A and B are shown apart, each in its own frame.
Chain A
Amino acid sequence: MRRSDLLALAAAALLVPCAYAQTTLFVDDSNCPGPGTGTSGNPFCRIQTAYATAANGDEIRVRAGIYTECVRAADSVPQKSVRLVAEAGPTATTIDATGLNCVSAGGFPTGAVRIGGFASSIEGFRIIGGSNSGLVAIGEVTITNNLVENNASGIGGGLYLYPNPCAYGAADIVVQGNTIRNNAAVFRTDLRPGIGGGVYVRSDAPGGTGCAGNVTVRIENNTIAGNNSDASGGGIFAFTNSALGQTSAVTITQNTIDNNAALGEGQYTNLDYVLGFGGGVYVSTYGYGIETIDVTSNQLRGNSSRFDFGGGVSASVQATFPANQTVRVQNNTVTGNAADIAGGGIEAFLTTIDLPSPQTARVVVEGNTVTGNTARFGGAGVIARASAARSASGNSEIRLDGNRISGNASEFFGGGVEINVSADSDPDDGFGAIVPAAMNVTLENNRIDGNQAIGVLTCNGGTNDGGFCTTSANCPGGVCQPDGTAGGVFVLLSSRGDSVATASLQLNTIHDNTINDPTGVGGVYVETETSLDTAGTEGFAALELSSSIVTGNDRIGVGGPSPGSPGIFSTGGTANFDLDIQYSDFFGNAGGDFDTWVVPGLANLFADPLLNATTLAPAACSPTLDTADPALPFVNEAAPDGGRANMGHTGGTAQATPSLADTDGNGIVDGVDVVRLSVAFNSTAGQARYNAAADFDSSGIVEGPDLSFLGADFGKSCP
């Protein structure tokens, strides 16, 4: 070795932080009754004995066997940082706490395994029979490749995860590659609420002396199946709750989350109300800090919320001053889930109370595939519920962007999507302050098709008007028929006092949704209630339907009760409502494009959008190309982008149907276009010969690629 290498090695050694001197301890139940000395040749009989012996930084290697015991690394404070490894993996190494009352050093109930500390890990075990969770992890912990099954608890049947910055500072928990199945979170009268059947995550950063660390929890690439919770979070229950200036985050990604259930209030006869949100996943932020939860790229199938909302996912932000909270549900596949009330696939919930601008409170549901979900009442695919009380923050909204919401079914309304928006400047009815409030839900670039509001057989007229029926014989003087409202999108806007409740629906394709009620709305249903506060100020509601394709829906395209008339949830109110329908295409809606009171606005089309049967993208000659609101961005569209976004769910995106390389917009790419482009060739924006219509890729210069686009289209035409 050269001298320089030796010096470098020495320098590197000096840079290595002080580390624990690692000892490897061995455990083997074939050496029982032991107790053994922990060496490879004379291993301990019990894992707990190894834990009691281990020092920080040690590794405990457990050989194949069944270990009937409680494993408690928590018997030291702070907990020891130890690596716990099952050499033969979960099929051959079981920690079985069945019938054992596992308690921590302080006598508190705890899991079959309790680990923690500043750098602990557990790998490769099967953990069963815990009556106070299968595995409790507190501190900086990594949990990999375990099988956690048939455990129960009041909180976190399978896993209970708590970074606890007050004990361990900035702490992260990673849960990776595990199977967590058939665990249960059971309601207990000792105020254990029965949440988190598979996994419970408490990601709070309370701040203050000794608790200043920020925390993260990452749950990745696990299988979480067949777990139940008596209350919310059948598969996973996770929340953040941080102090001002503190940061806490949870990431749930690339997991398979199947057949979990949040059982909800229906489990009890002695309780008035037990929440049962989020059959697959329930996540919520509700502190004062900077809090983020991401639920991304998971597969959620067959989960159910019985008696409540969010069969697949329930995502909640509950923000009050001075919160900055964001929950994102992105790129998940959500299929075949069910909710007894609403949000069979996904529930997005946002409530702000006294949250001023510029604080952020957002729920983003983006890029998900939501298919084949059901809900008893509404929002079989997705429900977005947003409310503002004395909160006018411009950064508060629910966004539903770029989702495919197809083939979902509800009994009453919102077969595809249900949107409820409310804003109230005077929630205390004059007892507290009256402050302007505003709330918005944006629905953008979504494909909403093939959804259905089945409708419940109800008497229409006669002596049993409104009553359920099976045949018209049950409806003397009336007719028994399906009662429902919206096959595609249901919108309810409520505002009171100096407040605004709005919904913005733009760049959506709402196609082939159905409703059995002969008077129902197949496409977009809206009802509103605007009312006065105690100061006599009138609320305002607005719905913008822009740059969308609303076609082929069974029944009416856009409708609902006329403003001021009663609806499903509203009495109608003062009718201070603005419906703005523009730059959209309406075609082939079986009950007509619009209800009688609906007046379409600017630049709408009434022509066949020529949708592809599989993708619902408009064809190259669709009249919906380059006809969206000119104010919308189009730079993400593939060239030639036509200088303007397309209507519909691909409009403004990279999936948008390219326009013809047609400089003069006459529907044919011909010699005139060649001359136009040639004149502008090599010119840049601002020069005399520059022609934006020939700059097909909107690069600011007319050059080779533009000529190529034209060459590819030369001679093509649209009828």
Chain B
Amino acid sequence: MKGEDHEMNRKPLHRTAGVALLVALAATAFACGGGGGGNPTPPPLNATFTASNPTPGANSLNMTGASSGAMFTVNVNVTTITDFFGAGFRVTFNPATAAFNGISSDNSILPAGAEFRGSLVGPGELTVAATLKGQVQGVTVNGTQLLVTLIFTATAETPNNPFTFGVAVDRVVTTCPAPPGACSDIPDATLNWIGGTMSASR
């Protein structure tokens, strides 16, 4: 199957849709636990996502997580950036034990009309954008705020599936002053990109 077949150019899930998806997936996970016959069905997976640093400093993008059964979400957060306009980055993970389902803009610090996109560009490699759009000033982020939520499913047991933000050439954080001022990228070396780890067990 070609890479294009894996595309998931998902629009942001609305809050209700996101919750419904979570519930449905959780229900499915539980339902699959039953049954009888000759081949016993293995117990359901339970995933856990652990942030590498849940209390990052300024100029950070970090991952935190939540889970429900096999399904887990990775929240990408921004910490203390002035005139934050948007970020584009990769998320890499081991596709042997996790599958990407979509993204959600629910509770994002970015207002309505912002652009949220996420798509696999290869096995275990996700490209994500969460950004304002148009001739506007960036938002000032004080403390740690949610930028975008990535939704995954654990597909196999694993003690350690690392989630990272990829490499410097594939990511950017841009700030914009009030128009018509020009925007600028925050140098990658001054940013802290902090991932996390997923584990799954039965």
Residues of A within 8 A of B (CB): 666, 668, 670-676, 678-679, 681-683, 687-689, 707, 711, 714-717
Contacts and interface: CB of A to CB of B under 8 A. Distances in A.
A689 B180 contact: yes
Given A682-B134, A682-B135, A714 B119 contact: yes
Given A671-B128, A675-B86, A689 B182 contact: yes
Contact of B182 (A678, A688, A715): A688
Query: Which of B3, B88, B120, B176 is most buried by chain A, counting CB atoms within 10 A of its CB?
Result: B88
Interface in B1-55: 3-4, 6-9
A715 B5 CA distance: 10
Contacts of B179: 689
B23 to A, nearest CB: 28
Contact of A689 (B9, B135, B172): B135
B151 interface: no
Interface string B92-104: 0000000000000
A714 B117 contact: yes
Nearest to B132: A678
B83 to A, nearest CB: 12
30 contacts: A666-B169, A671-B90, A671-B170, A671-B171, A672-B88, A672-B89, A672-B170, A672-B172, A673-B129, A674-B117, A674-B129, A675-B129, A675-B172, A676-B88, A678-B115, A678-B129, A678-B134, A679-B86, A679-B176, A679-B183, A681-B133, A681-B134, A683-B135, A687-B180, A689-B180, A714-B9, A714-B117, A715-B8, A716-B3, A717-B122
Contacts of A687: 180
The 8 A-B pairs at the shortest CB distance, nearest first, are namely A671-B88, A674-B129, A715-B119, A671-B129, A670-B127, A672-B88, A675-B88, A678-B133
Interface string B103-142: 0000000000001010111100001110111110000000
Nearest to B128: A671
Nearest to A674: B129
Contact of B174 (A668, A679, A682): A679
A683 B133 CA distance: 11
B115 A674 contact: yes
Q: Which of B85, B120, B121 has the most CB of A within 10 A?
A: B121
B1 to A, nearest CB: 14
Given A668-B127, A715-B119, 18 more contacts: A666-B169, A670-B88, A670-B90, A670-B121, A671-B89, A671-B90, A671-B117, A671-B172, A672-B88, A674-B86, A674-B88, A679-B85, A679-B131, A682-B135, A689-B135, A689-B179, A714-B7, A717-B3
B146 interface: no
Contacts of A670: 88, 90, 121, 127, 129, 170
With most chain B CB atoms within 10 A of its CB, the pick from A679, A681, A717 is A679
A715 B176 CA distance: 25
A689 B88 CA distance: 17
A91 B152 CA distance: 79
Interface of B: 3-4, 6-9, 85-90, 115, 117, 119-122, 127-129, 131-135, 169-172, 174, 176, 179-183
Contacts of A672: 88-89, 129, 170-172
Contacts of A682: 134-135
Contacts of B7: 714-716
Give the residue among B135, B174, B180 with the most A Cβ atoms within 10 A: B135
A671 B134 contact: no
Contacts of A683: 135
Nearest to B135: A682
A88 to B, nearest CB: 64
A682 B88 CA distance: 19
A683 B172 CA distance: 20
Nearest to A688: B182
Contact of B183 (A668, A689, A715): A689
Contact of B120 (A674, A676, A715): A715
Contacts of B89: 671-672
A127 B6 CA distance: 70
Contacts of B131: 674-675, 678-679
A683 B121 CA distance: 29
B121 A668 contact: yes
Contacts of B135: 681-683, 689
A543 to B, nearest CB: 41
A716 B121 CA distance: 7
Contacts of A715: 3-4, 6-9, 119-121, 127
A711 B131 CA distance: 14
B117 to A, nearest CB: 5
Contacts of B120: 715
Contacts of A676: 88
